Chains A and B, each alone.
Chain A
Amino acid sequence: MDLFHNLIFGFGVALSWQNLLYCLIGVSVGTLIGVLPGIGPLGTIAILLPITFNVAPVGALIMLAGIYYGAQYGGSTTAILVNLPGETSSIVTCIDGYQMARQGRAGPALAIAAIGSFFAGTVGTLLIALFGPPLADVALEFAAPEYFSLMLMSLVAAAVLAQGDMAKSFAMVALGLLLGIVGTDVNTGVQRFSFGITELSDGIGFIVVAVGMFAMGEIIANLGEPEQRSVFGAKVSHLFPTLTDMKQSIGPILRGTAIGSFFGVLPGTGPAIASFSSYIVEKKLAADPSRFGRGAIEGVAAPESANNADAQCKFIPMLTLGLPASGVMALMLGALQIQGIQPGPEVMTQRPELFWGLIASMWIGNLMLVVLNLPLIGVWVKLLTVPYRLLFPAIMAFSAIGIYSVNNSSFEIYLTALFGVLGFVWTKLGFPAPPLLLGFVLGPMMEEHLRRAMLMAKGDATVFVTRPISLAFIIVTLIILVVMVAPGMKRTRGEIAG
């Protein structure tokens, strides 16, 4: 059947020497930054984006994707061994994982984390393969009103589901939209907010915003906090989980994968929500909830599966609809745009090697991670002993070179510095950053679609609710707003997002 042939085709693409190499580089770098606190996939991908200019689109996506889901693996390693979550999604794994390590069971914890992640990755790959093409087919029917409503729904969902203060998330979306339209207005040729600066006539580069806020802003914040290191020096032996471990983990892995896949397609949710939610679910379902927090293997299996499934499924909206469901996806979208590819439903038919090659490569990457990570654990832990004061100048250096290499422009360097300061200030004031990036990427597109929709409808605004698909998106948007603002949900949301 079609799915089979497409997957074979995808593996054909993914198994070329170059793409295998890109995959290896991606997952290795990903694991590395996942292990190291203070630098995450968002900042890293932003910094490495300029390098992808010279690489074929498939290779670029494969590498960047590898960084993204590789970081989930790396984060869990340190969470278990050293009680240090390398990534926000691994915070939950610390709880029971570290306890298991202290009981001498680091090996089984790491193994189950890897197995769970691999299973989730496989399921994620299958889901993308199964649902991608039909979704793209539906999306081919979309016209301007549908796209506008869809983007509106995504932004609202992103704001509602983002961690932290919901009102501030909405404000960040609006701010991102505003920053996104800096530059020449394509329709009328009017220069907006460019203050006569030529470099701004094309708009603010999103790499500038991403690196500024997520790399430099992060560093500024980290330098303000005292460095915490609790080196455990765990001896990792007996890698194999017992039969009981495995039996206990089956349910959590399955449920975690399901929860992760669900959150994966929701815009605005980071991997943290998926892992938190699955932990809460496991605790509620457990026969003896008191075991949680004291080394329950379910507390490792479920979140690890969830965050991996989430990471993979985040690709679905981006690859099929051209809709970024998170900050990282916004960057991936940018990577494609830089290559001259406009992501959307046509990509699957016009450039199938992009879609299927990427999917196949994600599965290969997951395999690489399982095979590579377990033996290399000692290496990763050694890396944790590198002090931050040696790391962050290197991060700054790579950021600077990356930004400069885009347009050979010092102006963009200055602008990045500005966004570093702004990013830090905004975070300190309690404004979450990812909604801004989403608004920034979607802003110009939304305006375009709004204009076209109004033109099509000759000024009749009801077009958004008279067309059925558009109406569906609007209804979902309203439901999200109502449900999340209701008092009962506020508490649950606080539990999850807090």
Chain B
Amino acid sequence: MQLPDSKDFWSGVMLIAIGAAAVFIARDYPFGTALRMGAGFFPVVLGVVLVLFGLYFAVRGLRNSAKIEGSWSPRALVVLPLAFVAFGVLMEHAGFVPAMLALTVGSAAAGAEFRIGEVLALAVLLTALCVALFIWMLGLPYPLIIGM
């Protein structure tokens, strides 16, 4: 059976997954009564609501087949968040300057055009600008390079 590629169907699937997960995780939270609502009341109710929405969309998606429109860049979807994560990792272990360089170069790599000379120049410029602005002028207390 071919899985439908309709926007609605997958929207529905996603919502069902999230809602079910919410209800499952919240199953041990004290539910309480309407008078004294426990911690689990809102989460379970919301989870159920999401599952219901999900079912609605999934069914709707099986009946119409509006596809996901527009082009999208898988590279951007993967590389950009990774560049951001790299910033986080490097801030903790290597310092502000390496983090900024990695972020700039990494972000640029997410785009379609990547000219190494231009990217490096941009990285250096941007890092210098941010060091001047955030570390020196605004005084954020981050080590430029850890270990120096």
Contact = CB atoms under 8 A, between A and B. Distances in A.
Interface residues of B, number: 67
Name the residue among B30, B38, B77 with the largest chain A CB count within 10 angstroms: B77
Given A220-B76, A458-B35, A193 B140 contact: no
A428 interface: yes
Contacts of A430: 7-8, 11
Given A394-B126, A429-B11, A450 B73 contact: no
Interface string A152-193: 000000000000000110110011011001000101101011
B77 A220 contact: yes
Interface in B46-71: 46-47, 49-50, 53-54, 56-57, 68, 70-71
Interface stretch (A39-47, A350-358, A395-403, A468-476): A395-403
Chain B contact residues, majority secondary structure: helix
A149 to B, nearest CB: 17
Given A223-B111, A430-B11, A397 B39 contact: no
A458 B36 CA distance: 9
Decide if the interface of chain A is mainly helix, strand, loop or mixed.
helix
Given A389-B111, A414-B88, A175 B35 contact: no
A450 B85 contact: no
Interface string A388-426: 111011101111110011000011011011101100110
B81 A193 contact: no
Interface string B116-148: 001000110010001000100010100000000
A13 interface: no
B1 to A, nearest CB: 22
A399 B18 CA distance: 27
Chain B CB within 10 A, most for which of A188, A393, A397, A451: A393
Contacts of A399: 84
A251 interface: no
Nearest to B22: A178
Given A410-B92, A413-B87, A220 B80 contact: yes
B88 A404 contact: yes
Contacts of B56: 167
Contact of B84 (A216, A447, A455): A216
Interface of B: 7-8, 10-11, 14-15, 18, 22, 25-26, 29-30, 33-40, 42-43, 46-47, 49-50, 53-54, 56-57, 68, 70-73, 75-77, 80-85, 87-89, 91-92, 99-100, 103-104, 107-108, 110-113, 118, 122-123, 126, 130, 134, 138, 140
Interface of A: 51, 54, 167-168, 170-171, 174-175, 177-178, 181, 185, 187-188, 190, 192-193, 216, 219-221, 223-226, 388-390, 392-394, 396-401, 404-405, 410-411, 413-414, 416-418, 420-421, 424-425, 428-431, 443, 447, 450-451, 454-455, 458-459, 461
8 contacts: A171-B53, A178-B18, A223-B73, A396-B107, A404-B88, A429-B7, A429-B11, A451-B37
